Structure 1
Amino acid sequence: MLGLGADRLRADMNRLLALLFHQGVLDEQFLQLQQLQDESSPNFVSEVVNIYFHESEKLLRNLRALLLDTELSDYKKMGIHLNQLMGSSSSIGAKRVRNVCVAFRAASEQNNRAGCLRALELLEHEYCYLKNKLHELFQIEQQRALSAGIRFYAQNQAIAT
């Protein structure tokens, strides 16, 4: 019975990943990140992604602050923050977030405040969607691991008696 639960959870994970790839939210870099995870570091992907989220939220706050300062929008500093966000998004396979950063950077290079504000709104939307979906994925993965661990424990107990 427990094996069926783990199988269902694995199927749920695969469906969610397929959806995220189909929507262009993730790219192959995310799969490469997953390949680095093994028994010695079973939480590698979630730890890397959590670091990404922590750093990205600081960058998004900084971008918002720069844009809300109507007296002096520092477009050069915006570009620096966007390059950091673009690079870290690429490294975890966050394709749509990276693509919005490219458009945002183009607007900042043209000192286009209205374009930057629109891009920031879209960037925050894409970032929240990514964060919610990856959180959902990691929750399913954690449930699957717990289910598999419980099954493993139950099988070992049956062997021991």
Structure 2
Amino acid sequence: MAGTTPLTEQLNNFVLSLREQGILDYHFDEMKELESQTPCLVIEALTMFLRDADAAIADLFRLLGAPLINYPKVTEIAYQLKGSSASIGGCQMADACCVLRNASVAFNKDGCFTGFDMVRREYLQLQENLNHILQSSSRARPNQFFCDGRVYLVFQFDPSSAYILISQQCGGD
């Protein structure tokens, strides 16, 4: 790939391997293409997805552990999680969310447990790979990333939560 750094090429190859494994689909590529018009789109979208998915999975765990399952709420969260995972290209996780949602709509408690296990398993795999993408992106631009013509200095990247902590904004208004 002409004009790319070795780290960028490694990242592109990693994303390609995720596509080949079926972990990511074309939606990730579409999001990446939009980054030329909206800098930092991928970093922001992945970080927001991981944060929101963590909260949704915690809510599902709580709901499914209750003595009386609130099936409409499980259905709602599974539907939202399916949409957000599909929008960033997490097709296997989106499929698992469909299994959970279908079981919830059918008021199938065992099916909900099975579906939730699938969602959690797919999320852990997706989370690990998205964290790798975020880490690789930050390594490609050490200690900084660029957004809207501004340079943001990154003092900490927490791979366990996938949050980029921004300590200082330099330049631009």
In structure 1, what is the Cα distance between the partners aligned to 2:48 and 2:9?
27
Change (3 A) 1:40 1:24: closer
Q: Please identify runs of 4+ aligned residues in structure 1 that moved more than 4 A.
A: none
Aligned equivalent of 1:119: 115
Aligned equivalent of 1:156: none
SS at match of 2:141: helix
Residue correspondence of structure 1 range 4-23 to structure 2 within 5 A = 7-23=5-21
TM-score, structure 2 as length reference: 0.75
Aligned equivalent of 1:140: 136
Aligned equivalent of 1:67: 64
Which has more radius of gyration?
A: 1
Flag structure 2 segments of 5+ consecutive residues without an equivalent.
146-173
Letter of the aligned partner of 2:10 in structure 1?
Answer: D
In structure 2, what is the Cα distance between the partners aligned to 1:136 and 1:108?
32
In structure 2, what is the Cα distance between the partners aligned to 1:55 and 1:135?
14
Aligned equivalent of 2:30: 32
Select 1:50's aligned residue among 47, 52, 57. 47
Letter of the aligned partner of 1:50 in structure 2?
Answer: T
Aligned equivalent of 2:158: none
1:86-130 per-residue CA deviation (whole Å, 9 max, x = no partner) reads: 111121111111000011111112211112112111211111111
SS at match of 2:31: helix
Q: Number of aligned pairs?
A: 141
Flag structure 1 segments of 5+ consecutive residues without an equivalent.
1-5, 150-161
Aligned equivalent of 2:78: 82
Query: Identity of paired residues, percent?
Result: 26
CA RMSD of aligned residues (A): 2.0
